[in-house]
Amino acid sequence: MSFSIDHLLQGFATALSLQNLLWALIGCFIGTLVGVLPGIGPASGIAILLPLTTVLPPTSAIIMMAAIYYGAMYGGSTTAIVVNIPGEASSVPTAIDGYEMAKQGKAGPALAICAISSFVAGTLGLVGLTFFAPLLADVAVVFGPPEYFALMFMALTLIISLSGRALLKGVISMALGLTTALIGQDPLTGAARLTFGFPKLLAGIDFISVIVGLFAISEVMVNVEQRITAISQKITHWMPSWADIKQCTGAMLRSTGVGFFLGLLPGVTPSVTTFVAYDLEKRISKTPERFGKGAIEGVAAPEGANNATSTAGFVPLFSFGIPTAPSMAVLLGGLMMYGLQPGPMLFKENPEFVWAVIASMYIGNVMLIVLNLPLVGMWARICVIPFYILGPLIIFFSVLGTYSIRFLAYDVWVMLLFGGVGYFMRKFGFPIAPMVLATVIAQMMETSLGQSMLMSQGSPLILFTRPIAAVFMGLAFLSIGRGIWLQVRYKPPEVALEETD
């Protein structure tokens, strides 16, 4: 794949045709709705609409589907901020500070900074996609199973370190998340594991049920028991101030870098990069104690990483035909439905198509911010709805969201169970984020570790002898070392007893 200004300009000419502009706008709108509504993530949203796009020319259809994809990536953060329902794992870090801001009457600034950060990261990510794709695609190829395992391991250690001085509780939370993900069937042999003789557990535990239970259900339980009248009594701020935006500029740029470069790697989804970006911001902040209590950078960083990763995912998709996420796999299906075979030949044989889609993404990003900033006030008002109405509605949407994963009541029961787990974790001061991340990446970790062991004929040294893997492992061990040092530095018992979430 090579960059050519002529191709890009030609792409803009195609994308700016009235018909393609219209489909991009419809895609952005539907995508935002898909993100906000529970139960239909980007993958199912695109899959549902795929057959309907057959009436469109291929370029218009893919422009629309790509718009649905990045629209949904933005929309998913709305429920995370306003009612603490992160519909996707990638929205979990956004919920941590976003929901706190909403409780303080600042849902408007949180939502607006989401839109701005998504726009900045999406646009910068597109610049990367446009100009550096060939080089970046080559870097992605050198990533093998050991590098993936090391990266996931580093992400886990980073997120545990977010637990501050309650490191042991962070480790326990992570271990419980790994256990949850291992329940069901072995991905390679299909053998039952950790089912304890219950046939229903063979279906495994979907991480969406875990996330919704831990966050939304436990939050409703806490609010109900405290007889909260509304999430926020009044909306104190509608839009972020210039000072807020200035404060978030660094976070937006850094999270774009983190999200984009990690997002180039197949298998590294926004659910990982958003946590890494959040952790990075907390680490370099001069006031890390504000994180988890409504820090606006804590909203800007994961949102930026989310969009940058989504954009970066198009590099391996277009260059090698490798989907980096389920929604990308559906997009790949869409490309193939139109007889387009992603890979190096796609750029040679169909440059007008590829560059039109890339150009449309620039336009789509502008459309998203224009579409969503005026809607901030509408979404923010949800926080002042009396809780006796909002509480049952949060439950209703949570049930819809989890039931629609596999259309099994079992998933809803799992959500309820994890609602109880989340409730007690809050009461006993256990951090929730490590459990969520571990649940999401456990299977990927196990698979890449298995493949690494196969490559090295059983020697774990492979994780330390390959340079990129060694760097990630080194950073992971540094993070662990820092945690242990904190345990030693402060009085040990206080460490274990500190409330963190």
Partner 1 sequence: MKTIRPADIAVGCFLAVLGLLILYAASKIRVGVERALSPRAFPSAVGFLILVSGIGLAVKSWRFRGEDPKIHWPDREGLRVTLISLILLALYIVLMKPLGLPLSTFLYVTCSIWFLKPSKWGTAIVAGLFFGIISYYVFIHLLKLSFPVGFLFEG
> Where does this chain bind partner 1 (CB under 8 A)?
37, 39-40, 48, 168-169, 171-172, 175-176, 178-179, 182, 186, 188-189, 191-196, 220-221, 224-227, 386-389, 391-393, 395-396, 399-400, 403-404, 407, 409, 412-413, 416, 427-429, 446, 449-450, 453-454, 456-458, 491-497, 499
For partner 1, the closer CB: 352 or 492: 492
Torsion of CA 62, 66, 71, 72, to 10 degrees: 100
Looking at the Cβ atoms of 221 and 373, the one nearer to partner 1 is 221
Phi-psi region of 498 (alpha: psi -120 to 50; beta: other; left: phi over 0): beta
* 339 or 458: CB nearest partner 1: 458
Least distance CB 45 / partner 1 (angstroms): 9
Residue 410: burial class (beta carbons within 10 Å; 0-12, 13-18, 19+)? middle
* Residue whose CB is less far from partner 1, 3 or 410: 410
Task: Compare residues 78 and 307 and give the one whose CB is closer to partner 1.
Answer: 78
Closer residue to partner 1, CB minimum distance, 220 or 340: 220
Where do we find the tokens 């001085």? 165
Other C-beta atoms within 10 Å of 341: how many?
12
How does 93-104 read in b/e, with b if 16+ C-beta sit within 10 Å? bbbbbbbbbbbb
With beta carbons less than 8 A apart as the criterion, state whether 380 and 183 touch: no
* Helical (H) or strand (E) element with 15: helix 5-15
Q: With respect to partner 1, which residue has the nearer C-beta, 285 or 451?
A: 451
Residue 22 vs 454, nearer CB to partner 1:
454
| Separation in Å, CA 290 to CA 84, 357, 430, 441 | 18, 40, 18, 27
Nearer to partner 1 (CB atom), residue 158 or residue 367: 158
Axis crossing angle, helix 18-36 with helix 42-49, rounded to the nearest 10: 130
- Least separation in angstroms between residue 115's CB and partner 1 is 24
Q: What is the separation of C-alpha 313 from the centre of its chain, rounded to a whole number of angstroms?
A: 13
Nearer to partner 1, 64 or 220 (CB): 220
To partner 1, the closest distance from the beta carbon of 155 in angstroms equals 17
The answer to whether 426 and 115 are in contact (CB under 8 A) is no
**Inter-axis angle of helices 270-284 and 433-455, nearest 10:** 120
How many Å apart are CA 197 and CA 478, to the nearest integer?
A: 40
CB of 214 to partner 1, least distance (A): 16
The per-residue b/e assignment along 199-220, b for 16 or more CB within 10 angstroms, e otherwise, is eebebbbbbbbbbbbbbbbbbb
Closest separation in Å from C-beta 23 to partner 1 = 20
**Closest approach of partner 1 to the CB of residue 424, in Å:** 8
Smallest separation, CB 239 to partner 1 (Å): 30
What residues contact residue 453 under an 8 Å CB cut-off, 6+ apart? 459, 460, 462
| CA geometry: angle 432, 433, 436, nearest 5 deg | 95
To partner 1, the closest distance from the beta carbon of 196 in angstroms equals: 6
Q: Which is nearer to partner 1, 195 or 249 (CB)?
A: 195
* DSSP at 485: H
Min dist CB 373 to partner 1, Å, is 25
CA dist list (Å): 460 to 194, 360, 464, 473: 25, 45, 8, 12
Residue 150 CB, nearest distance to partner 1 (Å)? Answer: 15
CB of 482 to partner 1, least distance (A): 18
Which of residues 17 and 456 has its CB atom nearest to partner 1 in the complex? 456
Give phi and psi for 204, each to the nearest 5: 75, 180
In angstroms, what is the minimal distance from the CB of 382 to partner 1? 14
Instruction: For the chain, count helices (H), then strands (E).
Output: 24, 2
Contact 16, 360 (CB under 8 A): no
Token reading at 351: 């440059």
